[in-house]
Homo-oligomer: A and B are copies of this chain.
Amino acid sequence: MTYRRLLDSVLADELSFMVARARTATSAPANRQLRRLGLRVRSYSVLALACSGLEPSQREIADFLLLDPSQVVSIIDDLEARSLIERSPSPGDRRIKVLRATDQGHDLFREAQEITSEVEARLVSRLSEEERRTLASLMRRVSYQD
């Protein structure tokens, strides 16, 4: 690991850089592993929300995942074509389409969760239980402040 001397740079102390690096270090292996389920990190996230029981709209998903609504469309098109989720117009407002996972979707999500939880475990492997809780709590406030 010859690059370790670059930890002395000012860049290495920028929190936004550390966040970006941690994200790449997790998304890359997650995408590689999820591939055998025909998923990627983004479609996994949409599937997770469809499995939540909260019946999110596409707009809510876009806002929550910080994706453009048009990106959500194509991800959902794919998941729906594979019978993993269903979109049905909301009774109250017919512009809104509500998302629910099918039984197959729930099954696949459980498999996917094993993969992502392994990746996540590796991410925090150097931290104690208490440190993990502290980090999660601080990151919650940083990530969902808006």
- Residues of A in contact with B (beta carbons under 8 Å apart): 1-28, 30, 41, 45, 48-49, 52, 54, 56, 59-61, 63-66, 116, 119-120, 123-127, 131-132, 134-136, 138-146
Contact = CB atoms under 8 A, between A and B. Distances in A.
How many copies of the polypeptide does the oligomer hold? Answer: 2
Contact of A64 (B6, B48, B49, B65): B6
B139 A135 contact: yes
Contacts of A141: 126-127
Which secondary structure dominates chain A's binding surface? Answer: helix
Most buried by B among A3, A4, A26: A3
Contacts of A6: 49, 52, 54, 56, 60-61, 64
Given A9-B49, A138-B131, A143 B56 contact: no
